[in-house]
Structure 1
Amino acid sequence: MQKRAEQTRQAIVRATAELIGDGGPGAAGLVDICRGAGVSRGALYHHFATKEAVVVAVHDEARRETTTLIDAAFGDALSGPLETAAFTALSRFGSALGRALGGDLTVRAGLQLDPDGSADPARLLRQEVLHAVRRRVSGLLPPAAPGTPGPEGQDLADLAVVVVAGLESLGRTDPAWWSPGTSDRMWRALRPLFTHPAATPEDSAAPRDPGE
């Protein structure tokens, strides 16, 4: 009986995630949720006090999943050389997020929700994920030394957020942007910025060896 109740609850959450993922928060009407889950209103209210509580459940599940993705991508980043740690973590996370957005309706829907199950732009799970990525990247990229050319760590952290946010948004009209191949291609193009130490002023001014 308990297993069946959990299956019913998950069916309700999945149906809600499908509606939101494909049509936005406004698409998750009570009748449509019940129809998608194959349950009556009474069954829905047996598991959730309100329709809003179902939407909150979608947000909470998506938050757990995206937190796992971030932790998995950045958790062992410092095990390699520091100059490649940020790029390795970002490319790993970008591919994982793309796969989740393409195949996991809960993540796709949950990123459009805030903790109350509504869609306050400043409190969306999407914003929380982007802030977390920015914070993690900043922690891996020390500030550039004074007088050193090239982008500073904070600039690269901002760039990482722009790319992640852009791919997430573009994929909502063309899922090809969520494919691992697209993510890998984007990060490969940016890899030199994250992994090549900037030349010092002295190096830039030094004459080149004609034999080089």
Structure 2
Amino acid sequence: MRATMDLIANGRLADAGLVNICKAAGVSRGALYHHFVSIGEVVAEIHARAQDRVFELAERSFANAGADAPARFSVALGRALAEDRLVRAGLQLAADGTEAPPRLRDEILARVHDEVLAAARDRSDRRVLADLAVVVTAGLESLGYADTAWWNSQNAGRIWDMVLPLFTEAERTVAGRERDAAADLPR
């Protein structure tokens, strides 16, 4: 599994063929097939484990509501991509062990979109905020494959510092409406 993960994380799924995996792992084809029925099964297991890690990052980032939750997730994802080969490999994969949509990347970007939509429920421009969170997160993730500096917390934070005022204003607007509604209630 480690050899397959490294081949995908440092390249692409096509690099994780039988010969390359066996060579990188230092095992025979028979040894590989003793543990796994197919290469697809190995790759699907990598996806599943990466999904657990990335969804855990999302849970932690979005658990504490706040305008900066998408930024917290985006920065945490960048850190994981830079430091964790499993996450780097897994984002490229689908649950069936292929690169076909929906890949883990697609799943997590949909999650970011849904979380922002839910948090900005009373904003008329909530779809725009959700789209913006996806664009920033996807952009940082994609650019990092060519230059890992994009995954750096400081670089991602610098970009989010420019975007966060839009999310903060959305949160203030919702809080103000809730406060106004509570003030109108009879005592």
TM-score of the superposed pair, with normalisation by structure 2:
0.87
In structure 1, runs of 5+ residues without a counterpart are 1-12, 78-84, 146-151, 200-212
- Select the residue among 84, 109, 119 that pairs with 1:104: 84
SS in structure 2 opposite 1:116? coil
Are the equivalent residues in 1 in contact too, given 2:94–2:102 (CA < 8 A)?
yes
Q: Which amino acid is the alignment partner of residue 38 of structure 2?
A: T
Number of aligned residues: 172
Residue 168 of structure 2 corresponds to which residue in structure 1? Answer: 195
Q: Which amino acid is the alignment partner of residue 166 of structure 1?
A: G
Supply the distance in 2 between the matched residues of 1:18 and 1:86 (Cα, whole angstroms).
35
Residue 31 of structure 2 corresponds to which residue in structure 1? Answer: 43
Are the equivalent residues in 2 in contact too, given 1:143–1:154 (CA < 8 A)?
no
35-44 or 182-191: which moved more?
Answer: 35-44
Q: CA deviation at 1:178?
A: 0.5
Residue 127 of structure 1 corresponds to which residue in structure 2? Answer: 106
Look at both structures and tell me which one has the larger radius of gyration over its CA atoms.
1
Q: CA deviation at 1:143?
A: 3.1
Are the equivalent residues in 2 in contact too, given 1:70–1:93 (CA < 8 A)?
yes
Query: What's the Cα RMSD here?
Result: 1.5
TM-score of the superposed pair, with normalisation by structure 1:
0.77
In structure 2, runs of 5+ residues without a counterpart are 174-187
Supply the distance in 2 between the matched residues of 1:180 and 1:136 (Cα, whole angstroms).
21
Q: Which runs of 4+ in 1 moved over 6 A?
A: none
Residue 178 of structure 2 corresponds to which residue in structure 1? Answer: none
Residue 180 of structure 2 corresponds to which residue in structure 1? Answer: none
Identity, % of aligned pairs? 48
